[in-house]
Structure 1
Amino acid sequence: MYTPPAFREDDRAALHAMMREARLCHFVTATSDGLIATPLPLFLDPDEGEHGTLHGHLAKANPQWKSAPIGDAMAIFMGPDAYITPSWYASKREHGKVVPTWNYAAVHAYGPVEFYDDTARLLEVVTRLTDLHEHERPERWAVTDAPEAFVQAQLKGIVGLRIPITRIEGKRKMSQNRPAADRAGVAEGLADSGRISDRIVAGLIPGGK
C-alpha cells in the first residue's frame, strides 16, 4: 500500500482499533490459479504473536483454502471513506488550483495462513467470533443456544483459518496535507452530507468540527 508519511499510521493500538472497527475484511491469497479473495469477518487476537493473529473460518465448499497459497496471505480492512470535492476548499476561492480526492482509512495485514478442520478449534473460533459481535446486543445469541448436534453438523461445513501477522500497514488519509481552512471546509461539507459514512469521516478530519 502506498503510504506517504503524512498519511501513514504506525501506532499498533490504532492499527488494531481500525481493524476491529472494520469488522468485515477481504481475505486474499495468491495461488497458481491467480488471486483469490473472500469477504470474511475475522477477529484479531492482539496478544498472540508480535503483531497479533487473525482468526476466522470460510465455507468448506470455498475453493480458496484448497489452492495452496504462494507466499503470505493478505487481509484488507477498510475503514470509513468519502469523496472530497474541491468545492469545499477555501483555497479553491483563492487560486483554483485544486482537484478532487478521496479520504479513507485502511489496514493491510500479511502473514502465512493455516487452514484446519479440527472440530474443537472450529468451535472455539465460531464461539469467539459470535460472542464478539453479539456482546453489544441486549438479547445476545450464543452458539450454545442451538442444539449441539446441529452445531456439530454445521462445523463440518467450514474450515478454520489462522494468520499470524508478520507485517502490517496502516493508512489514514483524512486531509492532513491540506491547510487548516481547507480541512475545516471538508469537515463542514461532510458533516452536512446525507450519507452516514460521510458524516463519520467528518469527525476524523484533523482540526475539523
Structure 2
Amino acid sequence: MLIHPWDAPLDDDEWQRWLATHDFGQLAVNGLPGHAPYIQPMHFVYDPKPGAHGEIIAHLARPNPLWQAVEADPHVLLSVVDDYAFVPGPWQSPADTPTEHGVPTSFYAAVQLRCTAHLVDDPAQKADLLNVQVGHFQPEGGSAPAAVGTAPYGPMLSGIRGLRLEVTEVRAKFKYGSHKQQDVQERTAAGLTERAGAHDTAAHAHHLRRRTSGPTRA
C-alpha cells in the first residue's frame, strides 16, 4: 500500500481510534506451496495494550482450510478498509482548469496490521477469547458466558480455534485529499455533502477533520 506523506496518520492515536470502531476485516494468510493466499473475512477485537503494537483477538471454525497454512507460516496480515467514497473528476479540478479536466480519485481509510499468529486450542483460553469478543460486540449483554463444560457454549468450544495475532507492524492511510488546494477541498466537501451517498458522510467527516488537524499544505 502506497502511503504519501499527506495521507499518513497524524499519530498512532488516529489509526487506533479508527480501528476501535472498525472491527471487521480480511485476514490474509500465505498459501501452501502451489496455492494462492487465503483471505478470510472476520470480526475481530483489537487490544492496543499487549506488546509494542497491540493484539488482535478472533476465532474461526475448526474446519476452516486456512489453519494448515497458518501452522506452516504464522506471518499473516489483517486488512481493514472503510469510509470510502468515489470522488468525481469535476470536484478535483483546480480553479484555473476546465472542470472536465479534473482527475477522479478515491477517498478511503485503511489499516494493515502485520501479525504473528498464535493458535489457541485450550478450551478455557478459547472461552476467555469468546467472552472478550462478545463483551466487545454485545456490550448490552443478554448471552450466557462461555465456560468449559457449561451449556450452552461449553460443548461448542471443540468446534472452533482461537487466534491471538501479535501485531508486529502497522501501516495506516487516510486518503482524503488533504494536500489539495483549498478551492478543490471546498468543492469536494460540498459535493460529498450534496451527494450524501452510503459512505459519503463518513468520508466527509474525515475530509474535514484532516483539513483541520493536518499540517498546512499547498
Same fold (TM over 0.5): yes
Structure 1 counterpart of 2:205 = 203
- For residue 193 of structure 1, the aligned residue among 179, 192, 195 is 195
> Are the counterparts in 1 of residues 91 and 102 from structure 2 also a CA contact under 8 Å?
no
Structure 2 CA distance, aligned partners of 1:181 and 1:23?
A: 35
- For residue 178 of structure 1, the aligned residue among 172, 175, 180 is 180
Structure 2 counterpart of 1:141 = 142
| Range with bigger deviation, 1-10 or 97-106 | 1-10
The amino acid of 1:4's aligned partner reads: H
Residues 66-77 of structure 1: matches in 2 within 5 Å?
A: 66-67=68-69, 68-70=71-73, 72-77=75-80
Structure 1 CA distance, aligned partners of 2:146 and 2:75?
A: 37
Gaps of 5+ in 2: 213-218
- For residue 89 of structure 1, the aligned residue among 92, 103, 122 is 92
Gaps of 5+ in 1: none
> Are the counterparts in 2 of residues 29 and 37 from structure 1 also a CA contact under 8 Å?
yes
Residues 1-209 of structure 1: matches in 2 within 5 Å?
A: 1-9=1-9, 11-32=11-32, 33-67=35-69, 68-70=71-73, 72-89=75-92, 91=94, 94-96=96-98, 97-135=101-139, 137=140, 140-144=141-145, 148-206=150-208, 207=211
Measured after TM superposition, the shift of residue 87 of structure 1 is 2.0
| Range with bigger deviation, 4-13 or 66-75 | 66-75
> Are the counterparts in 2 of residues 18 and 79 from structure 1 also a CA contact under 8 Å?
no
| TM-score (structure 1 length as normaliser) | 0.89
| TM-score (structure 2 length as normaliser) | 0.86
> Are the counterparts in 2 of residues 22 and 77 from structure 1 also a CA contact under 8 Å?
yes
Measured after TM superposition, the shift of residue 199 of structure 1 is 1.5
* RMSD, matched Cα: 2.1
The amino acid of 1:114's aligned partner reads: H
Instruction: Assess, with a 3 A threshold, how the Cα gap between structure 1 residues 29 and 10 changes in structure 2: closer, same or farther.
Output: farther
Instruction: Assess, with a 3 A threshold, how the Cα gap between structure 1 residues 152 and 145 changes in structure 2: closer, same or farther.
Output: closer
Measured after TM superposition, the shift of residue 194 of structure 1 is 3.8
Aligned-pair identity (%)? 21
Equivalent residue of 2:152, what SS? helix
> Are the counterparts in 2 of residues 81 and 104 from structure 1 also a CA contact under 8 Å?
yes
Structure 2 CA distance, aligned partners of 1:94 and 1:141?
A: 59
Instruction: Assess, with a 3 A threshold, how the Cα gap between structure 1 residues 162 and 80 changes in structure 2: closer, same or farther.
Output: same
Name the count of aligned residue pairs: 204
Measured after TM superposition, the shift of residue 84 of structure 1 is 0.2
> Are the counterparts in 1 of residues 89 and 102 from structure 2 also a CA contact under 8 Å?
yes
Equivalent residue of 1:73, what SS? strand
> Are the counterparts in 2 of residues 58 and 160 from structure 1 also a CA contact under 8 Å?
yes
Structure 2 CA distance, aligned partners of 1:4 and 1:69?
A: 34
